[in-house]
Amino acid sequence: MSGLATPFLHHTLPAPLVLASGIWGTTVSLLERAAAAGCGAVTAKSCGPVPRPGHVNPSCLDWGHGLINAIGLANPGVDAEVELLTQARRQLASLGVPLIASIFAGAAPEFGEVAAKVVAAQPDLIEVNISCPNVGSEFGEPFAANPESAAAVTRHVKEAVVDAGIPVIVKLAPNVPSVARIALAVVEAGADALCAVNTMPGLVIDAASGQAILANRSGGLSGPALKPIALKCVYDVYRACPGVPIIGTGGVTTGVDAIEMVMAGATAVGVGSAIYYRGAEAIRTILDEMACWLDQHDMADLAEIRGLAHREPLYAATPTGAPIPHAR
């Protein structure tokens, strides 16, 4: 699958699919499994300043059009995570698959403190989850909702890793007035790449009891229902930040889904809930479907279709709504 090799910053990923954070945790065997299954890079589960037990069950549900989860950022804390990341990095390096460490915190300076500790594990990249609430904010607003807050987090992380030279990916949220503004703010603050997007907040109610199904009540939507939202976010970010690598994430369950994400402007494509729907073999299956699509359309590689959705449309609408071909 040479046509699927993907340049990403200073790496050449053996495949364009990136395991999303939290799907298979940070156990070394499971991250290795994702790499062996065909992922071009794998993202470990997010870690924070201190251990968190997460939310009690029920914490995840297939609601018919996707998944909704409120795991609650369960993690052993950064000190314990560093040991796991160090082992995972060693094993993945032998497979030629980069490791992405994921971090979160409750205050901007705290992000820098967590990043400084994660550096000890020498991950290939660090992903910054800015969708968590800002405990220093008057209203507990997520960092991802405000350009200034998002930029502040990015600067703290960049300062913490500058000597190590580890690139920083900022993971954006979809539920903001302008994801492009947030993207531009974090890039100007030093982000090397972007991940678009995280889950979308939602609520599912059990009509029989009149109660929210998740123990936390609300949760994050992923899976097929998220795909159009994720595509729009990737599209907007690509336009706002030309040349900045993007991991397009959200609702990718088939090879065609991944192709569409690349057409919107994604450099690489995140996969998560696809593993729930199609099993552990989902990664290899999606890659096969992508390769088949390229072959059927006489395309040599993904570079030929990246950002294709940004070209002028082949058809324009008439006043009556009927499409007519553009004059050539």
The C-alpha atoms of residue 214 and residue 57 are separated, in whole angstroms, by: 7
Judge contact between 87 and 93, C-beta under 8 A. Answer: no
Q: Is 195 a catalytic residue?
A: no
Q: What is the pLDDT of residues 64-98, one digit of tens each?
A: 999 999 999 999 999 999 999 999 999 999 999 99
Over range 257-273, report the average pLDDT.
98
% residues pLDDT > 90 (the chain): 87
Predicted model pTM: 0.94
Work out the average pLDDT over 197-213: 96
Catalytic residue among 39, 47, 132, 233: 132
Domain count, the chain: 1
Residue ranges making up the domain that contains 206: 2-325
| Residue range 226-262, pLDDT digits in tens | 999 999 999 999 999 999 999 999 999 999 999 999 9
In single-letter form, the type of residue at position 172 comes to L
Cα separation, 147 vs 149, whole angstroms: 6
CA-CA distances (angstroms) from residue 214 to 140, 219, 278, 318? 21, 7, 24, 47
Q: And the tokens for 144?
A: 């991802």
Query: What is the CATH number for 225?
Result: 3.20.20.70
